[in-house]
Structures are given as structure tokens and as C-alpha cells.
Chain A
Amino acid sequence: MNKTVNPNELTSDDDNGPLYVAQKKVYPQSISGTFRRIKWGLMALCLGVYYFLPFVRWNRGLGAPSQAVLIDLPNSRFYFFFIELWPQEVYYFTGLLIVAAIALFLMNSVGGRIWCGYLCPQTVWTDLFYAVERLVEGDRRERMKKDKSSDPMKLERISEIVLKHSIWLLIAWWTGGAWVLYFNDAPTLVKELVTFQAPMIAYIWIGILTATTYVLAGFMREQVCTYMCPWPRIQAALTDEWALNVTYRYDRGEKRTSVKKAAELRAQGEHVGDCVDCYQCVAVCPTGIDIRNGPQMECIQCGLCIDACDNVMTKIGRPKRLIGYDNDINIQRRQEGNAPVYRIVRARTVAYSAIIAVIGGFMIYTLATRSLLDINVLHDRNPVAVKLSDGSIRNAYTVRLLNKSGYDRVVAIDANGPANATIHVVGVDSVTPDRPMVVIPRDSTSELRLLVTAPAESNPEKSIPVRFHVTDIGLGEVAAATDNFVAP
């Protein structure tokens, strides 16, 4: 933490200040209020989804995975409720990431670091770990006292520390455990994990995520946000003067005085600020900063200082929200005696929303209308054309048929290109000449070698387009692809 150094403390001649500093341990005080309630709610929602989603079932028929959300790496499939994605559809994830990034920008231009303060896993788990710490070791003052105490540790203190770390490790272990469940059938894997039958890689990943959760939420905490995360820097470049941020309204707060003195001065008709310098906003801050110093990179804008200040203002009978979501424009307007203006709808937010709507809409459209039957055709490159003994011309193609549905399909293949051309699939003796039929097993692809032969009399041009159709005999579903027929 970069704390202000008092010049008087730096008296040594050759001391330019320390080159590195120890992490200053933060002891956030418990608090209750609107934003704390929002944070509890979101924490329960996020963790609930994360820990329990792998156990949600979804019926996809016999032989298909019954897990609602599953990343099936060995079979290269991703399942999300009614959606099944293949590796070649990875662009849906690209789209999702674009939407997520723009959603971050939108949050930022509306209400500052909403992501950081309420939704980021680092914040959520750190918050949970702080709650455990508070439960076991007591609130801010107690924890500070216990840490500062130089007395030899008593059994009670030791058991407290052991208990805290045990609970932390348990949460961390559960976090890692939930992670691996997304990659395999959850109930099966749980059974295997318990009986030590699970693959080594599962234990390794649980170990890695247990370690990261334990270290990042238990020890690194605000250091992650301040030093490791790129988002504070990025969001600082994205913000504008209208974005609402957790702000100390210095127009109202300054000049700070004590409650008693403020009452006296007010009685004399002098202007005094509402801030009574109680340091409650600092005490509750999980990053250990003073919001009254203005917007700071370390501030994750969790809103807990708003709750802390509101409680104090209520007690001393002053209006709430001395700290609140606001911006400098409104502070200036109030100083000039004007009413504050909030502009949520502005070019920036409209543009972000529009981008989200367009990309999201396009993704939903393509997903809803995508074909579960597909054909890819690759023309042989060497040789591009073959002359047969009777003078006819043959082109060979590698055809890949994709059946993304949950049932086997019987399909017929047609090729429309050179006049009177015949088509043949290697290894298939078709009962319907020139319309070879093949079976594509469900949820898989078939690669075929397809030969198109044009008779010598047809004397095909140098290059003519060929349209390949694959037709599901039962359902009539059709997919098509175009390539060229080349003559030597």
C-alpha cells in the first residue's frame, strides 16, 4: 500500500524512502446496511450457482451426458442445458466474451466498478474469508488486539487460528472440487473422488484451485486488486465524468469537525461539514483506504463505506449518503447551488447497450437457426483432376458430414455440376446409383472420399462449380456446400 509518508519521518540523509513495503494487514469491521445486504445476496447467488450447478441434470436421451452444464474435453463437446456446442462453434464463446467485455464497460460507465465491488470472484471469496475470520477471531478491534499482542499464545488463541485456517481450507477445497465437476459427470466423479478412484488430474486440479483460493482470498486479498489485476487500470481509462462512483461528497462533508463542535458552530450560523471524522468508512474498508481522499485505484467500490457512513449520519441526525454513488459534476453543481443531474442514458451507455444487443441478438439468432446437419467439402489438391482410360475426367473430394443431432441419420449425397456426371463414394456400394447413401451416427462426423466423374463427351470447362447436397432421408433436412470441378 502506498501510504503517505510524513516528510519529517524521512530524516536520514541517504534514505529516499523504502524500496519495498510490507503488506499492511487490513481489518475490515463488520457492518450492516443496504450495500452489505446486496453483497450478501450476490455472494449467495454466485457461490450457489458455482457450487451446485454441476449437479443440475438435463435429459438428452440415452447415451448422452445428463449433466446440464458440462465441458466434455475428451469428446470435444460443450453442453449447456439445451445447447450442445462443437469445437468448430467456438465463436459462440468469442461472442460471449465480447458481450462480457462490453457488459463490463457498460457497468463501468453506469456505476463504476460494479464488477469489482460485488461480482468478481476475488471479491466474493475474500468477503467470505473475511466473514469466517470475523466469526472465529472476532471483529476489527479484537483481531487487531490479538495480532498485536506479544503475550505467548494460549491454547484458545492457537485453536482459533487452526479453526480459521481449517474452515478456509475447507472452502478452498470445495471450490477446487466444484471446478473439476464441470469437466466430468458430477455424481460419478464425486463418488470416485471419495473412494480415491478418480483420475490423478482431478486431484491435481482440486489441489491447484484449493491453493489459489486459500492464498488469494486468505492472504493476498486486496493485493490482487491493487497489484495483479489489470482491470483497475483499464477501467480508469474507460470512465467518464458522468459515471457514478462511490464518492465522498466533500461539498457536504468539509470542513470536518467533531459532533459537539459542529453543533456549537451551527448554532452560531457558521458553515460546518457533516463529516465528523469518525473513521468508520476507513474501518469497514476491505482495501484499507480512506474514501475521503477521492477516487483511488485501490477502491473496489463495494459500497460498505456508504453503509458505515449512513449508520453514523443516522445516529447524529444528519441526512444519509454523505458517501454515495455520485460524480464530481454533481458535487460542483451542488456547490453552485444547482440540483444534481444523473445521466445514465448517454452516448457511451447507449453505444455499449447497442453493441451488446447486436452481438447477443446475432448469437441467439445463429444459435436458434443453426443446422444440425452439415457438409464440408475439400477438393483434392494433388492431383486436382484425373483423366481416366476412356478419356473421362474425375475429381476427388474429401467430404465430411456432420450430424449434430442425438440420433443416427441416413443421408443421400447429390452432386450438381458437370453434365451427366456420376458420383461414387469409396467403400459404398449404393443401391441408388449416382445418389450414394450413407449412415452418420448421432453426434459425430463421417469422412468420405467422394469421386465425381464427367464423361469425355461432356467435355467439361476448365472449372465449373459443383453443388453438393446432403439430404436426411427420414427428415428431409438438407445441407449444402459448393466446390469446383476442374478439368486438366
Chain B
Amino acid sequence: MTDHHSDIDAVTGRSTTGHEWDGIKELNTPLPRWWVITFYLTIVWAIGYWIVYPAWPLISSNTTGLLGYSTRASLAVELANLDSVRGEKMVALAAAPLADIEKDPALLALARAKGKTVFGDNCAPCHGSGGAGAKGFPNLNDDDWLWGGTLDQIMQTIQFGARSGHAKAHEGQMLAFGKDGVLKADEIVTVANYVRALSGLSTRKGYDAAKGEKIFTENCVACHGDGGKGNPEMGAPNLTDKIWLYGSDEATLIETISQGRAGVMPAWEGRLDPATIKAMAVYVHSLGGGK
């Protein structure tokens, strides 16, 4: 600051702040009083926030504020509101016969939306977010179903699972023909090639088709059926189609036959409410492969 007496700008006649840059002095431009008052009011308002809302961090917690507000509690309220809004629609979904849901565009949209969310939360870890599956976990978009692809069958599988320990679960598994000593190593190779031949895949040189058929008839037909067409009652896959849960190469087939397979689908009854399971059945069915 320089001498205040000289701090009057000669051109405008106004006082200056005394700040100077390269000979240019800053004029003192007073703020409007309402502006200053508003500024102080915002400070007071902010103090009000400290009092009514959570504000100051303490060592292990924070001040909670008089209103007792928390984002978590607010989320719970929002979710409860959402449930009450959706409640009526979910009641309609629960009441509708399973077969009719896909015929009603509004119910179908609701079931698909609900099903997609629940699928993402519960099923995606194994089946993938779009139900594309992985080795050992079926692709739910295709038309090949271990336990049947009708709406009722899909719903039953979701409800009770497969080898889940639930009393009503699908049972039956691929036996370990090698490990249990039922088939010898060369027999396993032969029947693996026979199975490849069933769906038109190439076979090993010198493979004996007649021997393969004999082994297959004696050991596999009971579950996989004549000609290997599969049986959804037993969860025995169709061996003549182009879809393979674990893989169709010879090595994988040998592994499957000698070690057996028994993948587990958990039961969802009791973990998800009936309307949700219904929505999920419709969602899975509507992915495209449903029968």
C-alpha cells in the first residue's frame, strides 16, 4: 500500500485499492451491499448444514446431524418405494399362468426386465451375463436343453436345480466309466470315436465302428437313448447335435467318459420368491432357445 492520499485515480476520480501492476492501479470497486449480505447468509446457511446433516469426520465415525440423514437409509427408502410401485405388477405376474406371460407384451416386458436383473445378480457368475454359458455351464440361448426347454421344465430346473441336494432336484449323472473300471482305456477311445461319429465328426484312423456301437449299446443307451438322442428326464445330452457342454474333441470326450460329469445347478426355491422365479423362467425361455 502506498500513501492513501495519493490513491485517487486521476481519470475516474475513484479511489484505488493501492494494488499496482506495471503502472496500472486497481480501482476500488465496492461490492453491492446486498451481495455482501447474501455472501454472509450463505455462510450461515452452511453452518446450518453442519448442524442438521452429517458433516464433520470424527476419529471413528462422523457427526450425524439432527435430521439423522444417511444415504444408506435414503437408498433403503427408495428401494422400498420401488417395491411398492412394482408390487401390483409383480402380483399380476405371479397370478398369470406361465404359458400366457409371453403372449401379453406388458407382462413379457416386465418378466424380461425383472428376469434380466435377477439373472445378472444370481446366474451370471456361471452362465455369463447374457446366458452364453461356458465349458460345463450350458448356453441358455441355444435350443439344446439338458433338462428340457419348455417353460415348465425351465422353471422346474430353476426351482429345484440339478444335483443340488434339494429333494426335488434333477438327479442322474454321467458315470465315470474309466475311473470305476467299467471300461478299459482302449474301449473308451473307441466309444469316444463312436460318439464323434454320431454327430458327423471325424474319427481316429483304424477305429472299429462295430465295436464302438457294441460298447455304446451296452453302456450308454440306457441314459442317452437309442442312437444317442439324449433324454431330458435323466439330463442325458443329445450326442448327435452340434452342441457340446464340455467339448467334442477326442481328448475331452475320453475325459468325460473316464472321469464322468456331474455339474451342479443350485436350487433357487426359497432363495428367490415364486414371482421372481417365474420371471426368470420366462426370461431364460425368451432368450431364444425356449421350446
Contacts and interface: CB of A to CB of B under 8 A. Distances in A.
A170 B277 CA distance: 58
B90 to A, nearest CB: 19
B243 A387 contact: yes
A9 to B, nearest CB: 10
Given A16-B7, A383-B130, A426-B102, A388 B242 contact: yes
B30 A18 contact: yes
Nearest to A381: B130
Given A389-B238, A427-B102, A20 B32 contact: yes
Interface in A1-56: 2, 4-7, 10, 13-23
Interface in A226-251: 227
7 contacts: A15-B4, A16-B7, A22-B33, A23-B33, A220-B34, A382-B132, A389-B143
A382 B112 contact: no
Contacts of B17: 16
A227 B242 contact: no
Interface stretch (B43-51, B65-73, B154-162, B282-290): B282-290
Interface string B35-54: 11000000000000000000
A20 B39 CA distance: 12
A404 interface: no
A396 B287 contact: yes
A394 interface: yes
B276 to A, nearest CB: 20
Interface in A194-217: none
A391 interface: yes
Contacts of B103: 427
B172 to A, nearest CB: 20
A390 interface: yes
Interface string A377-401: 0001111001111110010100000
A447 interface: yes
A397 B130 CA distance: 12
B135 interface: no
B196 to A, nearest CB: 15
Contact of B31 (A4, A7, A19, A386): A19
B242 A17 contact: no
Contacts of B241: 389-391
B271 to A, nearest CB: 24
A390 B240 CA distance: 9
Contact of A394 (B128, B129, B288): B288
B13 A387 contact: no
B234 interface: no
Given A19-B28, A20-B30, A388-B243, 14 more contacts: A5-B8, A5-B13, A16-B4, A16-B7, A16-B15, A20-B36, A23-B33, A388-B144, A388-B289, A389-B142, A389-B241, A390-B242, A426-B108, A426-B288
Contacts of A15: 4
Q: What 8 pairs between A and B have smallest CB-CB spacing?
A: A382-B130, A17-B15, A389-B241, A383-B132, A427-B102, A391-B242, A386-B141, A21-B30
B43 to A, nearest CB: 15
Given A388-B143, A426-B102, A449-B112, A20 B31 contact: yes
Nearest to A14: B4
B28 A17 contact: yes
B96 to A, nearest CB: 13
A380 B286 CA distance: 13
A223 interface: yes
B34 A23 contact: yes
Most buried by B among A10, A14, A383, A447: A383
A420 interface: no
A456 B132 CA distance: 19
A446 interface: yes
A386 B12 CA distance: 80
Contacts of B62: none
Interface in A449-463: 449, 451, 456
A21 B32 contact: yes
Contacts of A390: 241-242
Contacts of A18: 30
A5 B14 contact: yes
The interface residues of chain A, by DSSP majority, are classed as loop
B257 to A, nearest CB: 21
B18 interface: yes
Nearest to B13: A4
B119 to A, nearest CB: 12
Nearest to A227: B32
A389 B29 contact: no
Task: Find the residue from B17, B103, B132 having the highest chain A CB count within 10 A.
Answer: B132
B109 interface: yes
B105 interface: yes
Among B29, B130, B139, B238, chain A packs the most CB atoms within 10 A around the CB of B130
B159 to A, nearest CB: 22
Contacts of B14: 2, 4-5, 17
B198 to A, nearest CB: 13
Contacts of A19: 28, 30-31, 36
B134 to A, nearest CB: 11
B128 A382 contact: yes
Given A396-B141, A449-B286, A380 B130 contact: yes
A2 B13 CA distance: 11
Contacts of A6: 13
Given A19-B30, A386-B142, A386-B288, A427 B13 contact: no
Contacts of B29: 2
Nearest to A11: B5
A10 B8 contact: yes
Contact of A451 (B15, B108, B130, B288): B288
A389 B102 CA distance: 24
B144 A389 contact: yes
Contact of B35 (A20, A381, A426): A20
A22 B131 CA distance: 70
Contact of A7 (B13, B130, B131, B286): B13
A396 B35 CA distance: 61
Contact of B141 (A223, A227, A394): A394
Interface in A431-469: 446-447, 449, 451, 456
B5 to A, nearest CB: 8
Contact of A227 (B16, B35, B109, B129): B35
Contacts of B31: 19-21
A19 B131 CA distance: 69
B242 A389 contact: yes
A447 B243 contact: no
Given A17-B14, A387-B243, A426-B102, A2 B30 contact: yes
